[in-house]
Amino acid sequence: MKDELKDANFPTTADKRVYHLGLKKGEVANRMLVVGDSGRARMLAENFDSQPFHLRSDRGFECYTGTYNKTPISVLAIGMGFSAMDFLVREARACVDGDMVVIRMGSCGSLNPDVGVGSTVTPVAACAVTSDYDYFTQEDYAGEPYRISKPVAADPDLHQALFSTVKEAHEFNNADAGTDAPSPCLGDIVNASADSFYSSQGRIDPSFADTNTTLLQNIIDRVPNVTTLEMETHQLFFLAHLANKRQEGTGTDQPTMQNAPKPPTHGKIRAAAVQMVFAARASRAFISPAQVKQLQTWVGRACLDTLAAFHIPVEATQTDGIWN
């Protein structure tokens, strides 16, 4: 980003590009498919009707915008973790008018031995597992080393649409055939999103005083239906929740904002996620590259099909754009 940045509160360039994604209005569609991996994004963009717009920001965020079944969609690669998802949702929000429909497609670990490598899971909700830093640095701290939040729900309509499309594709691809372990397709489970791949996902590392030997059991005991572990979905569902609260005109600590009108060009954020099980935590199995390729091809198409078919009211769509 070579241009001078304006406004420390929400930095943008002179031509209104957001600081980290490098995008501006018109370059990103209302319908977004968000992944972590750059190669996965490139592969998904091969499904577009024609050569898409592509931008890679200096910070490594990538955006492909094109049409799929004649409907504008953006595929975004954001990397990993809560903060990457935070940049995506907040900065993409600033680039899009109307409703945002966001599906996160990513990999995850499984806590359930019956949900093995190669399974697909469409969680109804996600909780956050975060380190309580004071536990590790303060003497006689009364709290626990990890905080497990209450789950935040996916958008019910988008979740339902995504799950039924994924399930249909799962059956069509006969995804269980030829695998040793069961690889079911589930839609009624809860995800736990962690602030580390290691400590807060209960991985034992003798190099660090993580104090996490009972963590996985604690998560299972406290979060009903918890099945998967990854690092982004809670942040997506949580930010959609905060944006939709503002749309209702509630939920801010700034007195002058309490009755302020919602941002006039913004609509709802509707979010859902589908997760592919790469790591089975009980058996320690990890997915093979060949299985990844096969799985992400059909799950990716199911996500694009869901986004293209999902109804957005006409008044809540972007009017300008590079695809016009």
In whole angstroms, how far apart are CA 34 and each of 73, 79, 252? 11, 10, 27
Q: Does 278 bind ligand DUR (CB under 6 A)?
A: yes
108 is a contact residue toward ligand DUR (CB under 6 A):
yes
Per-residue mark of binding to ligand DUR, 34-73 (x: CB under 6 A):
--x-------------------------------------
Contact 139, 202 (CB under 8 A): no
Q: Does 231 bind ligand DUR (CB under 6 A)?
A: yes
- Please, is 42 exposed, middle or buried when counting C-beta atoms within 10 Å of its C-beta (0-12, 13-18, 19+)? middle
**Rounded to whole angstroms, what are the CA distances from 30 to 60, 190, 231?**
21, 26, 23
Residue in the structure block whose two tokens are 């589908």: 274
Measured from the CB atom, the residue of 63 and 273 that comes closer to ligand DUR is 273
Please report whether residue 115 would count as binding ligand DUR according to CB under 6 A: no
Binding segment for ligand DUR (CB under 6 A), chosen from 86-94, 104-112, 133-141, 253-261, is: 104-112
Q: What's the number of CA atoms in the CB half-sphere (13 Å) around residue 186? A: 25
Binding segment (CB under 6 A) for ligand DUR, from list 54-62, 85-93, 101-109, 242-250: 101-109
Q: Where are the beta strands (DSSP E) in 24-180?
A: 31-35, 53-56, 62-68, 71-77, 98-110, 120-121, 125-131, 146-148, 152-153
Residues 33 and 307 sit within 8 Å (Cβ to Cβ): yes
φ, ψ of residue 92 in degrees (nearest 5):
-65, -40
Return the ∠ at Cα 149 (arms to 144 and 150), rounded to 5°: 140
Select the residue interacting with ligand DUR from 106, 116, 145, 151 (CB under 6 A): 106
Q: Please name every residue paired with 194 in a beta bridge, in sequence order, or none if there are none.
A: 129
For ligand DUR, the closer CB: 135 or 197 = 197
**Residues of span 189-218 touching ligand DUR by CB under 6 A:** 197, 201
Task: List the x/- string, 293-312, binding to ligand DUR by CB under 6 A.
Answer: --------------------
What one-character DSSP code corresponds to residue 288?
Answer: -
Instruction: Report in angstroms how near the CB of residue 36 gets to ligand DUR at its nearest.
Output: 4
Shortest spacing between CB 200 and ligand DUR, in angstroms:
10
Piece of the chain touching ligand DUR by CB under 6 A; list 66-74, 107-115, 121-129, 130-138: 107-115
Interface ranges with ligand DUR (CB under 6 A): 36, 80, 106-109, 197, 201, 229-232, 278-279
